[in-house]
Structures are given as structure tokens and as C-alpha cells.
């Protein structure tokens, strides 16, 4: 699968820019927002925003290129990351240092991302993790395997974003 790294960078930077001030916005929430944006877009338009491969890990689906892309964004001085101690662990916070470029994101893709942010970005890491673990692509994948976006077409009503009555 060919990925467009610049588009993924715009995608990640956009989400960080829109959510950075939220008290719950650590790495887990960011990864879940990416997952739901990509997979909701797949359900609606039969293509992911990023063509990223998501791997099932214990707590969240991890986009294959996430760490490398974030490192590039840091080197370009577009985002900053900090480890901040909280009660029982360190939280990885991301901050936007510049206005994000969105030229590679279509109007429909931005609408899908914004819809995900409106509906899910205020959830805590625990809440959004529990929610995501009920989504069909997560449930059918084995740990350390790729989540198949085709399973969005078998989501139950709680997760589905497409009107199948048309």
C-alpha cells in the first residue's frame, strides 16, 4: 500500500491543532481519533483518508507510520510532544506550533474528521478505548494483526456512520 506521508502529516497535525487544549488529549485519544476518522471515511466513501495500516495492540489501533510521522512534524517545528506526569503514569501530550496545512485533505475528509472530533474528542482515554473496542474492525482482528477496514460495513448501529436505507 502506498501512503502519502504529507497527507498523513496534515491529518495528524490537523487533529492535534483542533484538540490540543482538551484536558483528555493524550496519545491514546489522538490514535483513536485517527482510527475513527480513517475508518468512518472508509465506511462513507470506501477509501481511508490516509491509507494507513492500523495494527491491533492491547489498548488501541496503532497506525504503522505514526511515530515516524510525528518525528517529522517535530523536526519541521509543526508540533511538539511532551511527557507529562499524571497520577499513575506519564501522559504523552501533543501541541501544534503552527496553523496546519490542509491542502491535501478534501472537503469530505475534513467533514469526517470534524464529525469524529465533535462526537468523540471529549471522551477520556478510558472511555474512547472502551468505545473503540466495540467497533467491528477491532473485535474481529487478532492482537498484532492489521485491522481490516472492510469490517466497517458490518458495524452495528452504534458505530455506523452511513445511511444504508438509500
Tell me the per-residue pLDDT of 99-157, one tens digit each, with 9 for 90 and over. Answer: 999 999 999 999 999 999 999 999 999 999 999 999 999 999 999 999 999 999 999 99
The number of distinct structural domains making up the chain is 1
Domain of 150?
A: 5-154
Q: What is the pTM of this model?
A: 0.94
- Give me the percent of the chain exceeding a pLDDT of 70: 98
Residue whose grid cell is 505514526? 66
Does some domain include residue 142?
yes
Q: Please give the Cα distance from 41 to 136 (Å, whole number).
A: 15
What is the C-alpha separation between 37 and 130, in angstroms, rounded? 17
Residue 159 resides in a domain: no
Taking CA atoms, 27 is separated from 12, 22, 103, 121, in Å, by: 11, 12, 25, 12
pLDDT value, residue 165? 83
- The string of DSSP codes covering 133-154 is TTSHHHHHSPTTSB--GGGGGG
Question: What mean pLDDT comes out for the span 64-89?
Answer: 89
89, pLDDT greater than 90: no
> Quick one: pLDDT at residue 166?
66
Q: What is the pLDDT of residue 118?
A: 98
Tell whether 160 is covered by a domain: no
- pLDDT of residue 1 exceeding 60, the answer is no
What's the burial of 70, exposed, middle or buried (CB within 10 Å: 0-12/13-18/19+)?
buried
Of the candidates 30, 41, 114, which has an alpha carbon nearest to the alpha carbon of residue 66?
30
Instruction: Please say whether the beta carbons of 152 and 141 come within 8 A.
Output: no
Mean pLDDT, rounded, of the chain: 93
* Listed range (30-34, 147-151, 161-165) with the worst mean pLDDT: 161-165
Distance CA(39)–CA(51), nearest Å, equals 10
In a domain, 71, yes or no: yes
Amino acid at each position: 500500500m502506498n501512503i502519502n506521508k504529507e497527507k498523513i502529516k496534515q491529518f495528524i497535525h490537523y487533529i492535534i491543532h483542533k484538540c490540543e487544549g482538551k484536558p483528555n488529549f493524550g496519545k491514546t485519544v489522538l490514535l483513536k481519533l485517527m482510527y475513527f476518522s480513517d475508518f468512518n471515511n472508509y465506511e462513507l466513501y470506501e477509501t481511508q483518508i490516509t491509507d494507513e495500516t492500523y495494527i491491533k495492540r492491547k489498548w488501541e489501533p496503532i497506525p504503522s507510520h505514526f511515530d515516524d510521522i510525528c518525528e517529522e512534524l517535530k523536526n519541521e517545528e509543526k508540533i511538539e510532544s511532551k511527557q507529562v506526569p499524571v497520577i499513575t503514569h506519564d501522559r504523552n501530550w501533543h501541541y501544534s506550533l503552527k496553523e496546519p496545512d490542509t491542502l491535501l485533505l478534501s472537503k469530505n475528509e475534513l467533514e469526517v474528521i470534524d464529525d469524529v472530533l465533535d462526537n468523540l474528542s471529549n471522551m477520556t482515554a478510558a472511555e474512547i478505548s472502551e468505545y473503540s473496542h466495540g467497533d467491528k474492525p477491532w473485535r474481529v482482528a487478532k492482537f498484532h494483526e492489521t485491522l481490516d477496514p472492510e469490517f466497517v460495513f458490518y458495524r452495528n448501529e452504534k458505530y455506523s456512520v452511513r445511511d444504508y436505507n438509500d
